Amino acid sequence: MGSAQGNRVLHVLEHLTPNPSKPLHTVFNTTKDKVLGVVDEAWALRSKATSSVLQQNGNRLLEIPMGKVIGTNGEDVITIIIKDLTSEIITAFPKAK
């Protein structure tokens, strides 16, 4: 609930395939059965975020270095957006280079 897809997991899964209609759409370099593990790993590393920005809509954007390539264009940082002051993940995707 809460995303255009009706489900936040489905929104993260959209970042498994390219979307030419979106100019800034990054893609994970993993499979559907492993992508949530990448997000979980990033969440465990959130204290190492290099950026933490409170957005105007009340969500917080975190940029977390993963120490390995997670995106199809060599991205090694993941962006996670959460409802601020919660652990509710809204979306996650490789940070565009």
What b-and-e string marks burial along 59-69, b requiring 16 or more CB atoms within 10 Å of the CB?
bbbbebebeee
pTM tops 0.85: yes
Residues 44 and 56: beta-carbon distance below 8 Å = no
Residue-range domain boundaries for the chain: 8-94
pLDDT mean values, one per 10 residues, the chain (97 residues):
60 91 93 95 97 96 98 97 93 92
Per-residue tokens: 90: 């809204």
